[in-house]
Amino acid sequence: EIQLEHAKQAFVQRDNTQAGRVTAMDFRDIMVTIRPHMLTPFVEECLVAAAGGTTSHQVSFSYFNGFNSLLNNMELIRKIYSTLAGNRKDVEVTKEEFVLAAQKFGQVTPMEVDILFQLADLYEPRGRMTLADIERIAPLEEGTLPYNLAEAQRQKSPGDVSRPVLIQIAESAYRFALGSVAGAVGATAVYPIDLVKTRMQNQRSTGSFVGELMYKNSFDCFKKVLRYEGFFGLYRGLLPQLLGVAPEKAIKLTVNDFVRDKFMSKDGSVPLAAEILAGGCIRFKSRLY
């Protein structure tokens, strides 16, 4: 992540002697300034005491990387602990037991385990660790990470995913409103064309000669309506048209979305048979309307 890379660059800048080490205070400043979201109050309070893992309180670059990697892997630390303790939270685990269990995962280094037990001993030096120690160090509780939520949602079966009835009704009403607006906009846009077509179909012979027509063609009809009736003459009778078209389009879109939602798979795709069924329902609805 970008913040971790910034932290590494800050470490290099604080390493004035180019020895690959920084002081405990520099270590604390880097963590508090760049990665505060990864620090619990307990860890932030213990940064100086834990710095470097030795009495010299000089933090090497490897320790710095291990410390940050541990904070990033706290969810995995929980899983390793659960393999040893099961569903219990008060089981005390030694460092040796934890290292053996961590080998099955292969993503936690021995240095990270050392730092983990070092932080746990800063709270109560007993050489053992419980789930409470992990929770005291972990920046976020298990299950609150975005990818955990996504994974939990993905693993749910379609029967588990249910929404309240009021939410479904509100969503249908929202789609109906959008369909009405879409139908009204579309009908308004093409209404002048429909008006010209209707007048061309319904025109009768007028004038002094038998068989003489009022409009020569569609363009002549459009020009005469615009000349003698003005721009708004092109939209004469629009309101009744909207009263018929807007609900019809809204119902069509709502029915289509409703049928597609019922057959949508977990990955968001809709089977071809469901697409055909949705189209058939729309056609059936059009016959009824």
pLDDT value, residue 158: 47
Average pLDDT over residues 182-203: 86
Q: Which CATH class is domain 73-147?
A: mainly alpha
> Which residues touch 52 (CB under 8 Å, ≥6 apart)?
21, 24, 27, 58, 59, 60, 63
Note the pLDDT tens digit of each residue in 6-32.
Answer: 888 999 998 888 888 899 899 999 999
Asked if the model's pLDDT at residue 193 lies above 70, the reply is yes
* pLDDT above 90: percentage of residues in the chain: 22
pLDDT value, residue 287: 63
CATH H-level, domain 2-71: superfamily: EF-hand (1.10.238.10)
Interstrand relation of 128-129 and 58-60 (parallel, antiparallel or unpaired)? unpaired
CATH numeric code, 165-288: 1.50.40.10
Q: Quote the mean pLDDT of the chain.
A: 82
Query: Residue 288: which pLDDT band, with cuts at 50, 70 and 90?
Result: low
**165-288 shares the fold of 73-147:** no
Instruction: Single out the residue of 110, 123, 104 nearest to residue 46, CA to CA.
Output: 123
pLDDT value, residue 104: 85
Give domain limits for the chain: 2-71, 73-147, 165-288
* pLDDT above 70: percentage of residues in the chain: 84
DSSP string for 230-255: -GGGGGTTHHHHHHHHHHHHHHHHHH
Q: Cα(257)–Cα(229) distance, rounded to whole angstroms? A: 41
DSSP state of 59: E
End-to-end CA distance of the chain: 56
Distance, C-alpha 5 to centroid of its chain: 25
**How many other C-beta atoms lie within 10 A of the C-beta of residue 161?**
9
Note the pLDDT tens digit of each residue in 61-78.
Answer: 999 999 999 998 898 999
Gyration radius (Cα) of the chain, Å: 36
Reported pTM: 0.48
CA distances from 247 to 122, 159, 170, 180, 191 (A): 69, 32, 17, 6, 16
